[in-house]
Amino acid sequence: MTGFRAGILVMVLLSAPFTVAMAQSMTQAESSELAAFPLTEDYLTRLIAADNEITDKRIKVARDIDMTQMTALAELVDATTLEAIAVLDKHGLNAHEYLFGRLALVDAVQAAAPNASPEVLSYTNEQNIAFYRAHKAQIDAFLGS
């Protein structure tokens, strides 16, 4: 695996709604937190700015991690590199907010689909689905949809 940004995050953004390893390793508390994560305009602005800087500077976001051995999403947060932490901090984010917010964003996108299953809908909340619909063009451009 080439690192969080090139490996894990790409898999997260392209899978529905998580990779199997991530879903299996998520604790109940993490699942509940993710479903309640509040997406806001301020968060989205900071996320996009941080992500653009990380991409532009080609910063590896996290050390390599074997997702099949994970027992919690917190392990991904703990694997964040110091370089990435500095960029996230500059934009008012921490590694936890970065990961959970991105996952919450992807879940809202998938839950907004007309034929979203009850399982997919359980990964998010109505406010995040409404937020995605209100910011669809910007979020789709950000996620490369």
Q: Per residue in 86-142, pLDDT tens?
A: 999 999 999 989 988 988 998 999 999 999 988 888 889 999 999 999 999 999 999
Over the stretch 37-51, which tens digit does the pLDDT of each residue have? 999 999 999 999 999
More confident residue, 49 or 145: 49
Task: Write phi, then psi, for 49 (nearest 5 degrees).
Answer: -65, -45
> Do the Cβ atoms of 88 and 59 come closer than 8 Å?
no
Pick from 12, 32, 3: which is nearest to 99 by CA? 12
The number of domains in the chain is 1
Alpha carbons 129 and 131: distance in angstroms, whole number: 5
Q: Which domain holds residue 134?
A: 4-143
Structure tokens at 2: 């080439």
pLDDT at 21 over 70: no
Q: How confident is the model at residue 69 (pLDDT cuts 50, 70, 90)?
A: low
> Do the Cβ atoms of 100 and 8 come closer than 8 Å?
no
pLDDT at 63 over 80: no
